[in-house]
Amino acid sequence: MSSHGESLKKPIAIIPARGGSKRLPRKNVLPLAGKPLIAWTIEAALESGIFDRVIVNTDDQEIADIAIQYGAEVPYLRPSELATDTATTISVLKHQLEYYLSHDEVFDQLVLLQPTSPLRTAQDIRNAWELYCDHTIESVVSVTPVEHPIQWTFKADDNAKLSPLFDDNVKRSQDCEQHYRLNGAIYITSSFNILEHDILIHPLSNMGYKMPANRALDIDEELDFVIAQSVLTHYSKYTD
């Protein structure tokens, strides 16, 4: 298979960080092992060395100030209609890319880095980008092995009666095929796919960058934050 090869310019990194978050208020600026949560992603992006620009897209001035302090760019504050619970990531990315197009700046590829994945490393970012460069594909997305076989999945009715989703739900775990889930840490695609097709993960042309569970934590609620704090403070060897 041919590859993108050396024809690719440096991509742009976009780190979306909304000020409002219901389950864990102000999570993007909460102090995690000595620095704000979002700083971990900014530093990993800068350390990776692959980006032309590292951009934080936010509606919040405190987040913007922290982002600039840690070396990212914040060209503008996100408009309020893109800072609601219902605003999509795609709409935020399109707005960012269209802003640059209106200023005669074109970025062929973008890497979306969620700030809620603080254990993702600079090497993970480099590895995912190399995977994208080495193959002629439209998208790379970071994935993590599913912790338990999906064959063990059930649905429950109103009376808590369980029905298996798969016929082979009694298989031993070692007999089950390995499956993967999105972990939210890294998405890579072309600006064209965002602007013209509204897609981050191309359904027909994609590859998964495999990350172990110990670097794939996605902070959504307080327990996730406590786990990340513990890992970064006491168990950093497990993120290597």
CATH number for the domain spanning 187: value is: 3.90.550.10
* Per-residue confidence (pLDDT) for residue 76, from 0 to 100: 96
Any domain includes 231: yes
**Mean pLDDT in residue range 164-182:** 79
Average pLDDT of span 124-140:
97
Residue 112 has pLDDT above 90, yes or no: yes
Structure tokens, 224: 């996730």
Six-digit token string for 239: 């993120």
On whether residue 160 sits in a domain, the answer given is no
Residue 226 lies in a domain: yes
Q: Give the number of other CB atoms < 10 A from CB of residue 53.
A: 17
- Quote the domain boundaries for residue 82: 5-145+179-239
Q: What is the pLDDT of residue 101?
A: 96
Across residues 59-65, what is the average pLDDT?
Answer: 96
| pLDDT at residue 153 in the model | 87
Question: Is residue 174 domain-resident?
Answer: no
Which position has the higher pLDDT, 22 or 113?
113
Domain annotation covers residue 166: no
Q: What angle do CA 3, 42, 132 make, to 5 degrees?
A: 10
Alpha-carbon distance of 83 to 180, in angstroms, equals 30
Q: Is the pLDDT of residue 1 over 60?
A: no
What are the residues whose beta carbons fall under 8 Å from the beta carbon of 90, sequence distance 6 or more? 194, 198, 199, 200
Q: What is the pLDDT of residue 235?
A: 74
Residue 152 has what pLDDT? 84
Which three-class secondary structure string do you get for 204-230? CCEEEEECCHHHCCCCCCHHHHHHHHH
Domain count, the chain: 1
Instruction: Calculate mean pLDDT across residues 161-189.
Output: 85
